[in-house]
Amino acid sequence: MSENALLEVRDLVKHFPVRKGLLGRTVAHVKAVDGISFDVPRGKTLGLVGESGCGKTTAGRCVLRLIEPTSGQVRFGGTDVRALRGEELRSLRRNMQIIFQDPYSSLNPRMTVEGIVGEGLTLHKLAKRGERRERVAGVLERVGLSADAMDRYPHEFSGGQRQRIGIARAVAIEPGFIVCDEPVSALDVSVQAQIVNLLMDLQRDLRLTYLFIAHNLAVVEQVSREVAVMYLGRLVERASPEELYRHPLHPYTRALLSAVPEPDPETGRERIRLPGEVPSPINPPPGCPFHPRCSEAHAECRELRPRLTEVRAGHWCACLRVGGIAEKPGEPAPPSPAAATEEEPV
Amino acid sequence: MSEEAKAAVAGEATNAPEAAEALLEVRELATHFRTDDGVVPAVDGISFSVARGETLALLGESGCGKSVTALSILRLLDYPPASHPTGAVLFEGRDLLKASERELRRVRGNRIAMIFQEPMTSLNPVYTVGEQIVEAVTLHQRVSRTEAIERAIEGLRRVQIPEPEKRLANYPHQMSGGMQQRVMIAMALACDPDLLMADEPTTALDVTVQAEILDLLAALQRERGLAMLFITHDLGVAARVATRVAVMYAGRIVESAAAREIYARPLHPYTLGLFRSLPRMGRRPGRLYQIPGQVPSPLEFPAGCRFHPRCAWADGRCRVEAPRLVEHRARHAAACWRTGPEGLPPIEEDEA
């Protein structure tokens, strides 16, 4: 286990009950996150990618305990996040923030920008009344907004500027860790570049650690030190972006990468077609969750659940056909790799 | 101005050199909106054409006027607040802007069909998919109900929906987003249109589903010689589907060329900036290129070239005089004073 992992997640599970009938009897569970483990080294970024419904957003919220996990471990700076209550939890929250996808719905329309960005400072008693304006002005400037934005309301700003306000809110209380949940997905290309650069600058200057959740593979590659791919509540592959994008091993990752439209009409890249649709997470297929759509599935894939296995140095894959080992029932999660052994700050 | 540029202006048909074969020809189209704060020139004098069997991608960021363009072509905007579009929209030579409401109804959904980004907002949640396709067929064509149902089944099969007979009885919410978009395409194609206008049809979909839908559209187009006007903000999607690309910025077309040409050799600073600011898989430049500033509010578009406040090449003329879309290379037009057949001159960039 990596010593400088700021966040360690082990066997994280979140099952949502599906209730039916007058008495609200639980008839099934949506297995949104079904046993995932990862580390995020201090000052680095783990990119979590996957398509709608794969569980990436739920995973991010479980880490912050915005949603209570069903089981598993979340350790932040060595502290067991799931054991915290009341004041302890509140002080931990000071250190963990989130940036949301939609800058239109995540800002309170009735609050001024000063109120939005300064709320955390007041809540955590980080600034006296007289200092607050000054602190907020400083943060706004840091994210590329002028101080006169302070007395205005969110609707007066463009999408990109609103996302800057959302970022200012998150960094105002000087957290160590931020979950970025699709922070640029709602933005135009030219604005996206500005926000991605801003997030990377802030990381460098403030020594931030990010869990960067997104479906855009190119954006994730740009920002991440390591990338993990999710499918149906499970991690199927994890590696450095250089390795993952050049040598994807898992059949799902390969199909996913091949589906990304390249901004170049001359690319003659062959697309790997995926038959069918993503199965329901209420009743995921037994064995490997990807097997019904996998062209390489064998009989064993239908029965045995592959675990994330280090098949090459620093390259982890959950596939029995590419060197993966099957999970034994009730087996604890494998130890996580020491993700940050080398320099290369990202 | 260079000699060829002058010649092109004189010819005027800069980005529609095959006007004779064009199925749709749009000339100097302009649509304004009246708001409390003033008049918004959402689409401000744009010209382009689409020939049978080809796909023109209208590429641009939010607010550039690309969707308003499509809605203006079929006169689907409410006015007020929208102005009656001016200019000309020639569909097979007839001007839709001058057509009667009755004539228009014969064109809409029949000869020109449209699909949108959010299938769920275009499909009626209280009717089955079958009822909705049957309605689309019977609205425009004199067929019996039995025949309309047959066509609906055939339509669903054509968009590769498995077990179409069973799917007819489904309500939209019982289908995935990808399946809903297939239903929308089936409805759009139910009357065998000549032109399909697709407004961000895959933007709400996952990348693997998007790839399937784009393949499907390409196959249908090949089969039927369908012309497409494909509206998108996604440079990758445009590269995948387009025969030609027209880039819009602040209500105007700033560049237009064959897809291969424009991606290989963009002439306009905005197009170049867009291409460079896009993160690409397999390349990590460390820091992304940024176009400085932001898109201006349509209430206060800058004078001259609307891109000049954000442009590293801008000079005195760009601030006062709006450049016209001029052919600088064969069938490659750009609206920029500083560009030429060889592209933009080198400049010293302090920040990349």
Domains of chain B as residue ranges with CATH? 3-111+193-334 (3.40.50.300), 118-192 (no CATH)
Pairwise CB contact (< 8 Å): B263 & A261: no
CB-CB neighbors (< 8 A) of B237 in chain A: 261
Closest-CA residue to A233 (of A7, A6, A11, A8)? A11
Pairwise CB contact (< 8 Å): B239 & A245: no
Distance from CA of B183 to the nearest CA of A (A): 16
Closest-CA residue to A165 (of A122, A108, A246, A92)? A108
| pLDDT exceeds 50 at position A335 | no
CB atoms within 10 A of CB A3: 8
Cis preceding-peptide flag for A281 (omega within 30 of 0): no
Helices marked H in B159-206 — which ranges? 164-167, 177-189
Per the listing, tokens 């003033």 go with B38
Pairwise CB contact (< 8 Å): A189 & B260: no
| pLDDT exceeds 80 at position A38 | yes
Question: Which residue ranges make up each domain of chain A?
Answer: 109-174
Q: What is the mean pLDDT of residues A165-183?
A: 95
Q: Are A305 and A327 in contact (CB under 8 A)?
A: yes
Nearest CA in chain B to A248: B282
Nearest residue, CB atoms, B284 vs list A191, A241, A259: A241
Determine phi and psi for B260, rounding to 5 degrees. Answer: -60, -40
Instruction: Round the average pLDDT of chain A to a whole number and report it.
Output: 89
- Residue A329: the pLDDT is 58
- Residue B348: the pLDDT is 61
- Residue A339: the pLDDT is 39
pLDDT, averaged per 10 consecutive residues of chain B (352 residues), comes to: 44 43 92 90 94 94 91 88 91 93 88 87 89 87 89 88 89 88 89 92 88 90 92 94 96 96 96 93 82 89 95 95 95 96 80 41
Cα gap B30→B14, rounded to integer Å: 18
Pairwise CB contact (< 8 Å): B277 & A245: no
Distance from CA of B226 to the nearest CA of A (A): 20
- Any A CB within 8 A of B126 CB: no
- Residue B349: the pLDDT is 54
Q: Which two tokens stand for residue A250?
A: 């898992």
Distance from CA of B108 to the nearest CA of A (A): 30
Cα gap A28→B213, rounded to integer Å: 32
Q: What is the mean pLDDT of residues A186-208?
A: 93
* Surface-to-core class of residue B222, CB atoms within 10 Å of its CB (0-12 exposed, 13-18 middle, 19+ buried): exposed
* Contact residues for A192 (Cβ-Cβ < 8 A; gap 6+): A184, A219, B277
Which residues are paired to A28 by β-bridges?
A18
Mutate to test the interface with B, among A51, A190, A215, A245 (most CBs of B within 10 A): A190
- Any B CB within 8 A of A259 CB: yes
* Surface-to-core class of residue B138, CB atoms within 10 Å of its CB (0-12 exposed, 13-18 middle, 19+ buried): middle
Q: What is the mean pLDDT of residues A95-121?
A: 90
Cα gap A158→A4, rounded to integer Å: 38
- Residue B327: the pLDDT is 96
**CA atoms B225, B180, A220, A321: torsion sign:** negative
